[in-house]
Amino acid sequence: MTSEDLLATCWTTAGDAAPGRGDGRSSLTLRERAEAAGAAGFRGFGLLHADLVRAEREYGLAGIRSLFEDNGLVHVELELLTDWWARGPRRAASDAIRRDLLRAAEALGARHLKIGPDVEDRPWQLETWAEEFATLAAQADGVGARLGIEFLPWTNLKTLHDGLELVEAAGHPAGGLIIDVWHTERAGTPPADLAKVPPGRIVGVELNDAESDVVGTLFEDTVRRRRLCGEGSFDLPAIVAGLRTAGWTGPWGVEILSDAHRALPVRTAADVAYRTAAAVLT
């Protein structure tokens, strides 16, 4: 057991749902997932936009907040916004999701919103992206939340340093990084680099593990073959120490994505995700 708070990111309790499968919506009810996370010991919960839309229809935003509070889930993460840099129809669709996430963040008292880079790795301009990021960070700040971008090794923001360059160029204090250790490890980022992230620029952390060799594409490997913390090749104690040196004190997100994890009953999945991550932190 650990005295530090852990947050179950959206995929950890999503059952058979996965990135790239339709809109990613879970077949489980939010009540099933929240109760499983709370019973396991988690103090935070991540919710995908598609699941947020469904849950709002079923419970209302006030009902969602009560459901989280009833299960001891005090840290709320909402995701995932993409195309926030785009123009035309893609931007119009993105802006509709943006409005949903900002409205929900205010009603739920969310600690942060998660956004993503361009998974098609198209040409981009740092100045333009920094301006758009700063605008979005200010909007998140306006509803009491922070904004975190998750860099991914197959996108236009491949590394910790790419993400940090964008965040620093934007310059807004509410903006920062979501650091998923799977992505730092697959990009070859040493723990010493994590320790050098400027204070306040880490918005969220996601813990997990993996085998030393990538199987298939990076995307296939990250969504089908992640391992529970401590059951793979990552030097998680060194990674955690680096993040602590940078000033991170939690909540520590736990993001487990794998075929094996999705096959588990949600209470079992939440419990084993919590216990293995807590063991690494202690």
Give the model confidence (pLDDT) of 197-224 as tens digits.
Answer: 998 999 999 999 999 999 999 999 999 9
Q: How high is the pLDDT of residue 1?
A: 62
Give the model confidence (pLDDT) of 48-89 as tens digits.
Answer: 999 999 999 999 999 999 999 999 999 999 999 999 999 999
Q: How high is the pLDDT of residue 3?
A: 87
Written in H, E and C, the secondary structure of the chain is CCCCCEEECHHHHCCCCCCCCCCCCCCCCHHHHHHHHHHHCCCEEEEEHHHHHHHHHHHHHHHHHHHHHHCCCCEEEEEEECCCCCCCHHHHHHHHHHHHHHHHHHHHCCCEEEECCCCCCCCCCHHHHHHHHHHHHHHHHHCCCEEEEECCCCCCCCCHHHHHHHHHHHCCCCEEEEEEHHHHHHCCCCHHHHCCCCCCCEEEEEECECCCCCCCCHHHHHHHECECCCCCCCCHHHHHHHHHHCCCCCCEEECCCEHHHHCCCHHHHHHHHHHHHHHHHC
**pLDDT exceeds cutoff 90 at 159:** yes
- Fold category of 6-281 in CATH: TIM Barrel (3.20.20)
Mean pLDDT of the chain: 97
| pTM of the predicted model as reported, rounded to 2 decimal places | 0.97
Q: How confident is the model at residue 176 (pLDDT cuts 50, 70, 90)?
A: very high
